[in-house]
Each structure stands twice: as structure tokens, then as C-alpha cells.
Structure 1
């Protein structure tokens, strides 16, 4: 039986701490979907109109977009990836209390809390995937990053099951049937804040800020198996940084100066926007409304949402054994085709079966026969089976790994928040789309997924097992490692002087490794 090295175990541990930031996103995305079904929440805020309910959702996305485009990158670059995660978690805790204890009928206070939580999560969701991508070795980077999406499903799982339990005891809980769901959101950010001081910063951040070789080496020794791997990686990072500083730009201006980076940013925008218009973004926000068209009981709908989140965890696990084995491109294409088939089937079942009407409080409401409802539910679960390991997990993996160090934090923040840009735009008109077209709406999602499969086939290169420092070559850019090695007059761009050749004490050996691997430029 193969023995797992202790450094690999530690790498997984610190990656899971960072991935827990995604629990915040998954929980919050499901919270608002859940509380909309609580009559106590509706009454507490004086039965808000449809446009106000939309504003509650929009407040979060606007906050997240602002943070992703203007705050997340600068904070993660200036203060470090850990500080980015910590600040995001702190704001999430503050915003949770604001929402939970908003004064009665003060929907504006609740909306303010939603905006702050969006800012906090926008900051945390920028720093988290960068942290994982910069510490995970290339051969398992995709597998480790797949847990980023898995933890989204964990957050959704927690929110929906807590909501389901509260729905079963509405009479006893009263208005706390929704407040409990909201306040439980502080659990995970507190857990992350407790652990953050005890995990290391990334070596790339240390080398990018003051060329702190000793700190970078200390971090790498905790996550790499051999001293040679540590020295090789330090060498490659320094070479890439040197080229980016000398030949491109050490600032965010490289986002538009470097043609290769521009191309990646556009592709990342399309992939992240595409993730939300597959149909998943709509299911996250409006599954309760969709299921009301086929089921009568609110507790039954809450149970379906909870089961959906549970299966989401199981389905995302498929990414852990497929993403590094078959590659990112394969998962994108297979996932898009599978989702397209599911959306087409939902549209056909929904439009070609009879609609039944029943009276509820004197109002005639449409529904479907129970077998039809079960069929539609099964198809939407099957949709999640295809979505989670592909466009769910792989979009984050691809986005976090393709950018060079000088722009990585800002580019990841901007690209990931394109999800919220697309989501906020589409969710504004989806309820009207659904009200006017019914299940014919799902033909739209079928077409979108077909287009996405074709786009990936022709436009997206495979990034499996490519080191972060050499990613630029895939997109028509220069090899930052090779070019940096030329600037630093290093003979072997990929390997430092073998560690075993160095003699003397450990302190002397370390000094020799740095000086011989990365010679100082002559002026």
C-alpha cells in the first residue's frame, strides 16, 4: 500500500481551511432561497413587494461584484491571501448579525446586511482559490481545488437542512424559523478565523513582497516532499517574477498590456458567466418557485431542496477523481452536453403534460400530477449530477490556475465575480420569463449549454498538470520561467543546483542553494 507523505496530508489540511470560504457562499446562496418560503419572514418585513425582494438579492450580488472587481485583488496582494480570507470572514459575521437582528419592518437594514455580506464574500472568494492554487502541487491541484466547489455544496446542505428542520417546527419557533437559518451562517467564518493564524502564507506572496526567500522556503518545506522540490519551485517562482517585472508589468496594467493575459481574462469571463446561465444559478435562487409549480406542500419543497444539496456533495466528489485524470476540457464538454439533455427533457415533460389547478385560500393555483412532479425533480437532480463536477468545480479550478502571478489575485477576483454579474442580470428577468413561458423557459437553458460545449471545444486549452509559472505558453504568451532564467543568467530554468551537492551546515547550505540557483544580475 502506498504511503502518503506527511507534507501531502498537511497540504490537504490547509487547502481545506481555505476551501471552507466556499461554505460561506453556498450557505448564503441557499439562505435567501430558503427564507423566501417563510411566512414569518414575509410578515416580519411587512410583506415586501416583488421589486423589494429582488433588491434583497441584488444587494448581495452588487456587494460581491464591487469586492471582486475593486477590493479582493488589492487586499490579497497587499496583505496576503490569509488576510483576504480573514477580512472576508469578519465582514460575513458582522453582516449575519445585522440581518438576524434587523428591526421589525426594516427591510432596508436587512438589505444593508446582504450588501455587506456580499462584500465580505467577494473578498474571501478571491483569496481562497488563489491560496489553494499556489500551494497545491500541479499533479493534484485539480483534485484539491475540486473541494472548493464541494464546500459550496456543504454550505448549501447546511442551510437547506437547517431550514427544513425549522419548517417542521414553525409553530414553536415563530419568527425564529428564519432567524435561526440566518444566524447559523456565523459558524464557518468563526471556524476559519480561528485556524487562519496557524496556516502559512503562500510562497509566491512571500517572494512577490520583498523577495522573502526564507519565509517562502519555510512554507514550501511544509507542503513539498523533498528539499530539491522546494528549491526548484523557489527558482521557478523567482524567474517568473523577474520576467513579469522586467518585460511586462508588476502591476495590474498587465491585464490589458499582455495579449496573452487579455485572452485568458476574456475566456475566464465567458466561462464564469456561462456557469451561471447553465441553469444552476436560477435553481439556486428560484428552485422554491419552480417546485411550487409541481408540488403543493412548502415542507415537501424544503425537503427536496435539502436532498438536492445533499446529492450535490456526492456529485461534486466525482470531480476529485476525474479532473486530473481526464482533464478540465473533457469535464466542461461532457458536463455541458449532459446539462443540455436534462434541460431539454425538463422542458418537454413540463410542456407536454397536463396542468392541474387546485384551490389554496380561495385562489386557483396550477400544479402537475405527482408522477410528473417526481419526473421533473429527478431530471433536475440529474442536472446537478452533470453540473457539480464540471461547470461547478472545474470553472473555479480553471480560473484559479491560468493567470500569472503579477495579475492573479485581481484577475481571479474579477473573473469569479462575473458569475454574480451574469446572475444578477439574468435573475432580474427570469421570474418574468418563467411566469410568461412556464416550462418552455428550459429550452433556453438547453440552447445555452449546447453553445457552451461548442465554445469549450474550440476555445479552451487543456491546463491539466501544467505548473502555474508555465501556464502562459498555453495561451500564446512567453514562457515566464525560461525568459526569467535568461534575465537572471540561470542555466537550467527548471532545476536549482542539486541540494545534495552542497556541503557544510544547514545554514550554509541554504545560502549556497539560493545564490547558486538564482545568480544576482550584474549591473
Structure 2
């Protein structure tokens, strides 16, 4: 069995992660480039106006991503996962173009581009995990889904060094210094847009809308097997039956999404997904990203040294993502990595909260050496935290939320969990500066305590989903009695048939009588 088609389709969908990662990575560096500040007249702006402009540029992207998720729901559910990928790419490219073009010194166009850019990224965080989980076999799903974090971290690292290289190579007087890092956004957007012309629709979406033959054709291409292969036929039948059962239940007893989401099996899965993303953000990764340069500056004693250590921080996150994708996901379960990684992250936050705190003045001649030890411990805790975050809630929250929901509710349920992720990012971005200003490095102790609560939630509520097939097996993993559910659906169909059959017979007799009278 050849997996090249499956990997190709997943690689195309993973470009939404590239749009995500690079957008996060490059913007911080671009905002301080001298050419960018000069072009938009921010170099002469007051501190308040400069902070406001930088805040709007960053927050407009996050707000766009938040609203991009519900925008993608009707496209993903009604028209398919593939058209939604096209929609993401188109919006992202339009936003990148508006940011890149030199249309005067007004920053409004740049901010509009960031907003549209965020819309595309937000919709991408909805559809890409759903698409990848639905095209993957149970054995490959964990690795392919973990590739999402690898791509995000890799492109974020590229974004950081792109701004750094532009500053080092291009003179401050040229607008190309800021335009080139911004224009690099076009690359993943174009790859995503063009790649969608060569990948199929999700077989799970096809099962709910078309015929089993189309499901089997798509699976044969994805699995690298000939059409009619017994394994492909069996998998296609399982997927089609799952989609058909969902359509029958909807036809027999049509209910709104809200009512369906409040039923016990779906409600439990939604609570798990929402809780995982709250846990992911409550660990304090965004707060750490915010404060890490300050921690590194206290150790390196220079801006260049602090930037270098920050670059290593990004490299550690990338190494962690690779470790999870190619090793960790194969050797143990999701629950093992989620629980162990979250526990280590909590310990690292407590250590950071203690070691990063400034010590009172002392006349002890060994005090400076002690400061160096504490500072080194703070840097080490940052790196260890980053590594184990990349083995636990970082990738696993995305993986689990993309695979646990019933296929006919998948897009809408994933939209809720993904919106939770973006809403948490907005809250953390707003709260972190206030906490740092009021309680200082005790902020990290607070995040450590939140991480402990997240550990308790994961231990008590998150079931094992590694290697579990979508559909019946996933329902069993969440404690749903599939046999009883299926028996009830069959009984409903029989009852409906008993009601409809006499009506059809009576109608047929009346038609015969009317024909006899005419003759």
C-alpha cells in the first residue's frame, strides 16, 4: 500500500498551519523594523500612538481568526472541506497582498490586510484538522495530525528569522526591508490554493452527500490501492453506513444543532474539546512568549544575545513538534503524553516564577553568581516547558478535537472548540500584561496553578483516542452504547415503514379503482 497520495493530500491541508505559524512569527520582528516605522510614520509617533498601532495590527489578526472560524462553518458543512480550503487560501492571499503593496503611508490598508489574513487563518484552523482526520487511517491519523504543530512551529521560526535577516541584509532606507518578510506570506497561501486542485474531497463528507462508489474511489486513491480492493471496500462501507445512519436519524427525527449538541454523547465530547483548549492556553505558553525575551535579556545582558536565545526557544519548540510526530505518537498513548507533559509544564512554571523573580539588593560577594544560577535555571525551565508543551496539550488538543465528533456534526463541533482556542488567546493576550504589571513573575506561578487544574481535568475527563477508528469505535471510547443506539434507529425505521406501507397500499388501490371507472 502506497501512502504518497495520503501524505500529499495532508501536506496540502497542512499549509493552513504554515499560514498560521508564519503570520505569528514574522509580525513581531516587522513591527520594530526601522523601514516599517519610517514608512508608516511611526518613528515620530508618540509612545501611546505607537503602542496603539502595534496593538491594532496584532489584535486585528487574532479577532479576524476568531470570526473566521464561524465564517467557515457553512462552507465546510454545506459545500465540503475542499471548497473551504480554497476559501481560506483566497482570503489569506488577499490579506497578504494588501499588507505587501506600497499604497501610501496610511497604515489602515495594512491593518485591513491583517484582518482578512486572520479570517483565512481562522477558517483554516477549523477545516484543516477536520480534513486530515477524515482522510487518514486510524494508524496514520496521529502522525499526520501532529504534523500540524510541526508546520506551525517551523514556519513561526522562519518568520522570526525572516525579519531578523531582512534587518541585517537590507538597509533601513528601503521599503523592501519590511515588504519581503511580509510578502513571504504569499508562498504558503499559493501552495494551499494550487494544491487544492489536486486533492480529493473528504470521504466522510462524500458519504453524507453522494454515493458509496464515490467514497470507494476516493479511498482507493488515498490508500494507494486499486478500486475494488477488499480493504478499501470494507472501509468505504463502514464510512458510508455511518453517514447513512446519520442521515436516517436526521430524516426520522430532525433536530437543530443546538439540541443535538446537548445530547449526552455529543455534550461529553464538546466538554472534552473545550476543556482541552482551555488547558492548552491556561498553561501560559502565550504569557511565556510575551515574557521570554525579558528573561533572556536578564541572562544575556544584551539585546542580540536575548534575540539569539529567543531563536533557540523557537528551535526547541520545533524539535519538540518533530519528536512528537515521528517518535512519541508511536511509542505511547495520548493520555500518557498529555498527563506527563502537562505535569512537567506545571513544575516548570513554578520554577520559572521563582527563578525569574528579581532578588533584593545584597552585599554578599557571591550574590552575582547566585543570580547567574537562578537566571540559568529560569532559561532552562523555559526550554523544558516549551519542549514538553509540544509533546502534550500543544498538539494533542488539536488532534483529539478533530477526531472525536460524529461526522455529521464534525464541522460545527470543531468550530466551537476552535473558537474556544482563539477566545482564550484573546483573553490571555489581554490579561497577561496586567498580571505582569501587578504581580510580576508570580504570573507564572498563577499559570502553574492553572496547569495543575488542567492536569486534573485531563486525568478525569479525557479518554484515550489513539488508534481509535472514527464512528462506532469513537462512540464506544466515550461510553456510548452503540448497539442500543443502532437498535433504536432500526426500530424507528421499522415503525416508520409500518406507518407508511398501509398508506401506500391504500393509495395504490384508489389509483386502480379510478382507472377501472374511466375504462
- CA-to-aligned-CA distance 1:128-180 (integer Å, 9 cap, x gap): 11111011111221122111111111111210121221232364564443332
Q: Conserved in 2, the CA contact under 8 Å of 1:295 and 1:373? A: no
Q: CA deviation at 1:340?
A: 0.9
For 1:301 and 1:440, the matched residues in 2 are separated by 22
TM-score under structure 1 normalisation? 0.83
Q: Counterpart in 2 of 1:311? A: 316
Query: How do 1:410-489 residues align onto structure 2 when only pairs under 5 Å count?
Result: 410-470=412-472, 471-479=474-482, 483=486, 487=490
Q: CA deviation at 1:316?
A: 1.0
2:236 maps to 1:234: yes
2:37 maps to 1:35: no
* Partner SS for 2:332: coil
Q: Counterpart in 2 of 1:53? A: 54
* Partner SS for 1:323: helix
Query: How do 1:195-206 residues align onto structure 2 when only pairs under 5 Å count?
Result: 195-206=195-206
For 1:327 and 1:310, the matched residues in 2 are separated by 25
Q: Conserved in 1, the CA contact under 8 Å of 2:324 and 2:391? A: yes
Normalized per residue, the structure richer in helix is: 2
Of residues 72-81 and 452-461 in structure 1, the stretch that sits farther from structure 2 once superposed is: 72-81
> Against the structure 1 CA distance between its residues 173 and 415, is the aligned structure 2 distance closer, same or farther, given a 3 Å change threshold?
farther
Q: Counterpart in 1 of 2:517? A: none
For 2:156 and 2:28, the matched residues in 1 are separated by 10
- Structure 1 residue runs of 5 or longer lacking an equivalent are 357-367, 491-521
- CA-to-aligned-CA distance 1:200-227 (integer Å, 9 cap, x gap): 1111111212x23222111101233662
For 2:393 and 2:55, the matched residues in 1 are separated by 26
Of residues 276-285 and 438-447 in structure 1, the stretch that sits farther from structure 2 once superposed is: 276-285
Q: CA deviation at 1:438?
A: 2.4
Q: Conserved in 1, the CA contact under 8 Å of 2:6 and 2:135? A: yes
Q: Counterpart in 2 of 1:362? A: none
Q: CA deviation at 1:255?
A: 4.5
Q: CA deviation at 1:109?
A: 2.4
Q: Counterpart in 2 of 1:223? A: 222
Report which of the two structures shows the higher radius of gyration computed on alpha carbons.
2
- CA-to-aligned-CA distance 1:402-427 (integer Å, 9 cap, x gap): 01111111211221231110110121
- Alpha-carbon RMSD: 2.9
Which of 249, 268, 273 is residue 268 of structure 1 equivalent to?
Answer: 273
Q: CA deviation at 1:98?
A: 1.5
* Partner SS for 2:407: coil
For 1:231 and 1:73, the matched residues in 2 are separated by 30
TM-score under structure 2 normalisation? 0.83
Of residues 24-33 and 374-383 in structure 1, the stretch that sits farther from structure 2 once superposed is: 374-383
Q: Conserved in 2, the CA contact under 8 Å of 1:86 and 1:124? A: no
> Against the structure 1 CA distance between its residues 65 and 375, is the aligned structure 2 distance closer, same or farther, given a 3 Å change threshold?
same
Q: Counterpart in 2 of 1:516? A: none
For 2:174 and 2:373, the matched residues in 1 are separated by 34
Q: CA deviation at 1:61?
A: 1.7
- Structure 2 residue runs of 5 or longer lacking an equivalent are 363-369, 494-499, 502-519
Q: CA deviation at 1:451?
A: 1.1
For 1:214 and 1:52, the matched residues in 2 are separated by 54
Q: Counterpart in 2 of 1:494? A: none
* Partner SS for 2:331: coil
